[in-house]
Structure 1
């Protein structure tokens, strides 16, 4: 068998980290191939891009997730022992927990809490000279998801916990102090949630059956045992943290509304299909996850290339979502493209490919889409604001690639009567002392 094109040089970790979103696709174009061999983190790796490569990458007979994520990401973004690093029956059993937590009626309930937080935040913003949207949305999502999940959060803890949540995905890939802050934030959050799991199991904190905190605390794993308290804390955080991370997608949506005012005008009407198409185009175009990692389970050959057992493989998500073989004018922002077609599981992968139930596609994708559509509707129909002079460039050298100034709003005004009440009756878990 022939071998894949090889990138020259000893190690390319710095090249990847300096341009994480475009590194794989640009090298594939230069080398004229959908895959190439390189060295990342001082170990041999194969990088892949495109829908055909994705279909192979998500074959569980060929690839596994165990041992794929670098330790720095396990210690920050994912947590050690969580669902992302499982395979086979263990993964299916653990994934079933998350799919139950994110059933449509539960997502709808979460959206109700988020809606209330949008209104509360908007009224508060009217009294401020300027608002950094990213920071504010992180806070409002932290409040909402903790309320929804029955995780007690005192008012004086909101700022601390929201900053800790954000550090898990906003500073995980940083070097130096930023990465250390991310590690410390995870330790503090896991300790906080482990106490909560213990209290639920011991009957010191009563929660309704089926809420996220109860479902995780009392989940029986593939070995017919409750999860160890420390792992349960990791998995409860794997419910909270991705929901808070939707703040990144919401800021991207606000950026797209500003960059494409013609879309804002059309979104002002009552066209749910276009609203969905707009959100999906934001997810396709904007840079959230650059790539996903796996290891070869057993030796195999594909496309004239040998994949040895244990080899690290990276699948390009950002570049695959802009593949010109799949998407016409892939670098143009065209929501209409989603009105004409339903993309396949390996054509459109903003949060992973394949299907979510038995594979490693993100179970929180429905939450992301729902909360993005809700945010777009609120920004278009219920919030007046100005976008003052600022640096709106997306910093593609950082993860995630947010607008450089976090997307600043000024002259905020609510476009609904101030007396508007909560969208539904809300529970408020009592804060732990």
Structure 2
């Protein structure tokens, strides 16, 4: 096995490198001419890996752990402290099962119907020009709250809008400017306070028949010793249902880019919708930038692509790079609507490492996003209504998707016009 090649990042290079955004890790690999690279900046070292074979190694708990891997700024904004993403072993399996038990086919059908109702109502109200981003943000928030058993009827419209915006701010504040980061922390604190109040109320006044709703699931969730989770941890896990669903605002806005920035994809999808809807969705998830990378810590010496990564190394798996890996994907920088035709279901329900937009491995046993099925249903609802149920004019706008922004989406936030 070979030693991992190293590149030293000079202080004067940091700004230029950060502007690479989603392409940063690819640039570092190109610098050393290897699929594995160690980048050293001042006293910090990080080893970056990518590709299907690397993902198989990364998700093996005998090789890597999540405890202590997530940077504090990300915990304080995006994931929260004590959540399922930071756990390993039996503690992770126990907590993850609460999430997976919510994702039954019946409850997914419920979510699909709830979201379709909310989206129809929102689009029916639209006349004139509007941003798909803002519409999706509100619709996804209100729909997931209803599905989770949260009653928003007691809040005024302004409060609901602010709660929805807070979910996006937590994401934007994870790896961005200091100002946005501070805003992300502030909005996470507000969201956690709201979620704690919901958990406390659910514990005091449980609603019969709603035990399998997310709010009541986490209100009653226990640790490995059978003790109720602390209120703040239960609140973090409730937000781990709400926030990632609202984060799909990004993908719905990127869907606007796929459908309306040019005409070919829209026409292809519309002409053969039943056959191409799910392949279109999976190609969207592969092609467009969403979550850039995931961190872990090596628990032993690990071989990846012929290079040895020493025990205790801080390692990141390049999700975007894996989904654009020319070693395993034909013409990865082309959007091919029929790339996954006949295999779309397999990609999310059976295949664990080929396309990892929301992580890889087994749903129940590994750190793959429990919300992948919510993602698929959300994209099905939006694609159906944007293509089949309504007609739009597309105003002139800036469709640029900045690669140095996280999360990223068209600068115009996908402007549409409806009569």
TM bracket, shorter-chain basis: over 0.9
Describe the SS at the equivalent of 1:322.
coil
How far apart are the structure 2 equivalents of 1:115 and 1:68?
38
Equivalent in the alignment of 1:81: 82
Equivalent in the alignment of 1:143: 142
Q: TM-score, normalised by structure 1?
A: 0.90
Seen in structure 2, the aligned counterparts of structure 1 residues 212 and 9 have a Cα distance that, compared at 3 Å, is: closer
How far apart are the structure 2 equivalents of 1:44 and 1:131?
45
Q: TM-score, normalised by structure 2?
A: 0.93
1:345 paired with 2:344, answer no
Cα deviation, residue 303, structure 1: 4.3
Cα deviation, residue 259, structure 1: 3.5
CA displacement, residues 343-368 of structure 1 (integer Å, 9 cap, x when unaligned): 54222110111121100110100110
User: Given the alignment, which residue of 157, 160, 164 partners 1:158?
Assistant: 160
Asked whether the equivalents of residues 68 and 312 of structure 1 are also in contact (C-alpha less than 8 Å), the reply is yes
Describe the SS at the equivalent of 2:297.
strand
How far apart are the structure 2 equivalents of 1:207 and 1:192?
23
1:384 paired with 2:384, answer no
Asked whether the equivalents of residues 8 and 41 of structure 2 are also in contact (C-alpha less than 8 Å), the reply is no
Larger deviation, residues 156-165 vs 200-209: 200-209
Larger deviation, residues 227-236 vs 169-178: 169-178
Equivalent in the alignment of 2:2: 2
Larger deviation, residues 35-44 vs 57-66: 35-44
CA displacement, residues 274-323 of structure 1 (integer Å, 9 cap, x when unaligned): 10000011101000011111011123444443323321101111111011
Equivalent in the alignment of 2:252: 250
CA displacement, residues 363-395 of structure 1 (integer Å, 9 cap, x when unaligned): 100110111011011001112112211110101
Larger deviation, residues 35-44 vs 105-114: 35-44
Asked whether the equivalents of residues 317 and 352 of structure 1 are also in contact (C-alpha less than 8 Å), the reply is yes
How far apart are the structure 1 equivalents of 2:141 and 2:41?
34
Equivalent in the alignment of 2:104: 103
Equivalent in the alignment of 2:373: 366
Equivalent in the alignment of 2:227: 225
Larger deviation, residues 2-11 vs 150-159: 2-11
How far apart are the structure 2 equivalents of 1:346 and 1:234?
28
Cα deviation, residue 222, structure 1: 1.7
How far apart are the structure 1 equivalents of 2:207 and 2:303?
53
Cα deviation, residue 16, structure 1: 5.2
Seen in structure 2, the aligned counterparts of structure 1 residues 53 and 204 have a Cα distance that, compared at 3 Å, is: closer
Larger deviation, residues 225-234 vs 292-301: 292-301
Seen in structure 2, the aligned counterparts of structure 1 residues 121 and 52 have a Cα distance that, compared at 3 Å, is: same
Equivalent in the alignment of 2:53: 52
How far apart are the structure 2 equivalents of 1:256 and 1:170?
22
Cα deviation, residue 197, structure 1: 0.8
Cα deviation, residue 42, structure 1: 4.2
Cα deviation, residue 178, structure 1: 1.1
CA displacement, residues 133-174 of structure 1 (integer Å, 9 cap, x when unaligned): 101110111111111112232233211101111111133222
1:29 paired with 2:30, answer yes
Seen in structure 2, the aligned counterparts of structure 1 residues 205 and 198 have a Cα distance that, compared at 3 Å, is: farther
Seen in structure 2, the aligned counterparts of structure 1 residues 327 and 304 have a Cα distance that, compared at 3 Å, is: closer
CA displacement, residues 185-216 of structure 1 (integer Å, 9 cap, x when unaligned): 11111111111111111227777221110011
1:327 paired with 2:329, answer yes
Unaligned stretches of 5+ in structure 2? Answer: none
